[in-house]
Chain A
Amino acid sequence: MTEKIEFAPLTKKDFVSDQAVRWCPGCGDYAILAQTQKNMPTFGRKKEDFVFVSGIGCSSRFPYYMNTYGFHSIHGRALPIASGVKLANPDLSVWVVTGDGDALSIGGNHFLHTLRRNMDLNILLFNNRIYGLTKGQYSPTSEVGKITKASPFGSLDYPLNPPAVALGSQATFVARTIDRWQSHLASMMERAYHHSGGSFIEVYQNCLIFNDNAFESYTGADKLENVIELKHGEPMVFAKGTKGIKLDGFTPKVVSMDEFSLDDLLVHDETNLDLANIISNWTSHPILPEPIGVIYAINKPTYNEQVDKQIETTIDNLGPGDLEKLLNSGDTWVVE
């Protein structure tokens, strides 16, 4: 996808629109926006080939701030709209910015099916585990018992696990990152950009107003104790190399590196679906560290490629369509 085309190199400034950014001061969205604007020029692609599509919610204001083509649509529907954009013009790099409510609640059906088809879109899901724009109700990723205006006695819903849902939907690229892990965020975006097929990145994003510190343990002083950065082909160590993860049958266990060596540890293989399924279940685990990085990535023909291929094959077999002939096909008769 990284065609090198002759044009003046772009900078972050080229991707900043003239619209005033209107997120709450301190919102995690700022960091993601800045990283995106910084990253886009490094892909070596023309600005006009990028399209950002969003649904509704705080995160979905994102396209207005990118000086690319953009579409801020309706609640939950960013994925099918983006699918239409990609199918109509597969040469575009199409990005979807969505939230936990937008993608997993009202748009849940589209999330399943877009990933199932392996539509070549880059999906950034800003998960703040709360409804922000409607002023603080529990979301499909909120923890049980959450006290909000809509759940003053605690929410009763069990949360979804986004990477597990994505894997269950046959996604070909599943990753997780965190708004405050800036360089990690950038590297995940770059991986997604280069992945041919539907790429899903869950971004843990802090909502300062309605769900502050939801990810404090992954971003605070002891974050390295609580997060494991997945690296393909490397043993699973975290906590500055002092802890590791070892499989006991199908059960992952945290072990001390004082007692075990790197050779004893589980080695990450992002092409292994069974492993990816195991890792995805570490989400909000009481003992295991929170996995970030590329959980799963495989290559598979994309839906949009195959649509084009089917058209090409049909034209090869039947010749280009002749409308005059089609109109006059079947039993016809002439009235003098």
Chain B
Amino acid sequence: MPKTTKTLDLAVIRFAGDSGDGMQLTGGRFTDTAAVVGNDISTLPDYPAEIRAPAGSLAGVSAFQIQFSSKEIHTPGDTPGVLVAMNPAALKVHLPELIRGGTIIVNADAFSKKNLTFAGFETNPLEDGSLDDEYIVYSVEMNKMVTHACKGMDLPAKIVLRTRNLFALGILYWMYDRPLEPTENWLETKFAKKPEIAEANKRALNAGYNYGNTAEIFTTRYKIEKATLPSGTYRNINGNYATALGVLAAAEKANLNVFYGGYPITPASDILHAMSSWKQFGVKTFQAEDEIAGIASTIGAAFAGNFAVTATSGPGVALKSEALGLAIITELPLLIINVQRGGPSTGLPTKTEQSDLLQAMYGRNGEAPMPIIAAATPGDCFFAAYEAARVALKYMTPVFLLTDGYLANGSEPWKIPSLDKLPDIETNLIDALPDGEESFLSYQRDAETFGRPWAIPGVAGLEHRIGGLEKKDGPGNVCYEPDNHHQMTVIRQEKVNKVVQEIAPTRIIGETSGDLLILSWGGASGTARSATEQLQEEGFAVSHVNVRWINPLPSDLKDILKQFKKVLIPEINNGQLIKIIRAEYLIDAVGYNVVRGKPLRASLLVEKAKEWLG
């Protein structure tokens, strides 16, 4: 049968299997290959909270979705066109999201009676014809195939069967005309000490590729050309790693040592992992006994002159809240990162959500304002972390960086920045009594930033005491005077307001006025951008703005909002930014809120927008 090749702009594929099937690894390899080929990419790992739920169960299904394209893309795609299902449970869980007419590739050997029953199938969908009308199904006996491929290797069957994911990957590489070398090289490095494992996986990968090539059932391959990205050197990066790199870059620019104090929590732990691997950069990491000790140690380190950072997720922020108030009243520079996940309480630990914005804004006792910046894409986590650090050090304040589970684990091609081009970072460090002062005034402020001097222990003549009790403006001694407290309350807010001078002009995607503005923040940015582009293509007067700084909001935002008849705010929460926008600008904005633990779908946002466009 002749094979035909079709050229596509983009494709969305999803790998799904048991937690032990190596789906994250498979997706990661496909992603790196797509990046090396030069596609624009966006990924969405989706894994369960349980490390190994019972094999074959619905709860144990782990998945990885990737969109790759010859054009610029902003999301991992709404619904996949190709689903690789390594067992019945994976098919059961992910079939509802596959597009009609989509392709299903299954490991037929996993469709045993036991697995089918476990997944809730009464009959075998591969045999009962239920899939045939709506999908193109490729049922491949992968167990048999890899066993055959690894014949003569003298490896236990269990080990051989573990290469099934590479076989499936091989089929996909054939389907999308991808090179095998990057994956083969990766396998050789990964299993350098176990060459037989590397060999078995390589055989499985090649067998999958050759199966696609020779098997009569596959008739079409797809070609997705290189994307035209701005020139530069690129790497594939996820949000957590980008965040960690941003912290390191800021410390280097500020000429400070990093102190990272934290407690393991999903999905923020990878930041701790990255930081702890950078001893050669002098990074000190402290895995504390709890979330509170994590932030308390960073407050101590900030007092002693380090660039102090902690990262956590919502439940951890709840525990750190009192200490954040201390960082605010002591006016110490601190970076706190919240990799948001589904809540409330333990909620959905491995899924994404944007529901901690109001916690960041208001979740502390007393009037306790803090600057808040939210990263928009995985790669933007680097720049957002850098900017947060710059503001913390310049203004002497803790700063919140909000990312989320999707940004943290999702990845995209990232143009590696040149360190020289990053803005300089100023600190308020002093090493002697300022001119004209007889005794040290620890709360004497810089007029432009309201930053107070950073006098660190060890410096002679600047001994002073700070703490959680109200301070006298100027000298910084404990002060209970009513008027001083009022003044300090105003000053702490004013300091945050002053950060507005750091915010770059707001970028509008589309015209500066029109019928509808889609206003996003954080991880919903990509969806908002995709939906906007689609609506624009259809001729609607729609524009998109993503806000990175949320406290304070950019000074030009008010005028921008007024130029649109309607403002639509998509968020993965019950409507949080919308409350701030409505309160701040008295604008009758409307929300689009879906809280499924997954990124919003651009297609559904488009539908929602059309309701308002008439």
A and B are partners in one complex rather than unrelated chains:
yes
A70 to B462, CA, bound (A): 11
- In the complex, the answer to whether A83 meets B297 with C-beta atoms within 8 Å is yes
A11 to B304, CA, bound (A): 25
Given A330-B235, A331-B36, A334-B233, is A311 in contact with B279 using a C-beta cutoff of 8 Å?
Answer: yes
- In the complex, the answer to whether A113 meets B231 with C-beta atoms within 8 Å is no
Number of interface residues of A (CB under 8 A): 63
A77 to B324, CA, bound (A): 12
Which residues of chain B come closer than 8 Å to A109, judged between CB atoms? Answer: 289-290, 293
Interchain CB contact (< 8 A) of A19 among B249, B294, B306, B478: B478
Most buried by B among A87, A92, A310: A87
Interchain CB contact (< 8 A) of A70 among B282, B296, B466: B466
Q: Is B230 an interface residue (CB 8 A)?
A: yes
A71 to B329, CA, bound (A): 12
Q: Which of B110-118, B351-359, B451-459, B481-489 contacts A (4 or more CB under 8 A)?
A: B451-459
Given A77-B293, A80-B292, is A323 in contact with B466 using a C-beta cutoff of 8 Å?
Answer: no
A56 to B326, CA, bound (A): 12
- In the complex, the answer to whether B234 meets A48 with C-beta atoms within 8 Å is no
Given A77-B293, A109-B290, A335-B234, is A321 in contact with B281 using a C-beta cutoff of 8 Å?
Answer: yes
- In the complex, the answer to whether A335 meets B280 with C-beta atoms within 8 Å is no
A330 to B236, CA, bound (A): 9
Query: Quick one: closest B residue to A330, CB to CB?
Result: B235
In chain B between 464 and 481, which residues have their CB closer than 8 angstroms to a CB of chain A?
Answer: 464-469, 477-478
Q: Is B200 an interface residue (CB 8 A)?
A: no
Interface string of B431-467 (1 = CB under 8 A from A): 0000000010000000000000000111111111111
Interface string of B289-317 (1 = CB under 8 A from A): 11011101111111111101000000000
Interface string of B495-517 (1 = CB under 8 A from A): 00000000000000000000000
Interchain CB contact (< 8 A) of B259 among A50, A84, A326, A336: A84
- In the complex, the answer to whether B261 meets A48 with C-beta atoms within 8 Å is no
Which residues of chain B come closer than 8 Å to A47, judged between CB atoms? Answer: 460, 463
A63 to B416, CA, bound (A): 47
Query: Quick one: closest B residue to A60, CB to CB?
Result: B467
Q: Is B245 an interface residue (CB 8 A)?
A: yes
- In the complex, the answer to whether B303 meets A310 with C-beta atoms within 8 Å is no
A315 to B36, CA, bound (A): 32
A310 to B259, CA, bound (A): 14
In chain B between 231 and 245, which residues have their CB closer than 8 angstroms to a CB of chain A?
Answer: 231-236, 245
Q: Is B322 an interface residue (CB 8 A)?
A: yes
Please list the residues of chain A having a beta carbon within 8 angstroms of any beta carbon in chain B.
17-19, 46-51, 53, 56, 63-64, 66-74, 76-77, 79-89, 91-92, 109-110, 112-113, 307, 310-311, 314-315, 318-321, 323-324, 326-336
The 30 sampled A-B contact pairs (Cβ below 8 Å) are: A19-B465, A19-B477, A48-B459, A48-B461, A51-B457, A63-B467, A71-B465, A72-B468, A73-B296, A77-B323, A80-B288, A80-B297, A84-B259, A84-B298, A84-B299, A84-B303, A87-B259, A88-B301, A88-B304, A89-B305, A92-B304, A110-B289, A311-B282, A315-B279, A323-B249, A323-B419, A328-B416, A331-B36, A335-B231, A335-B415
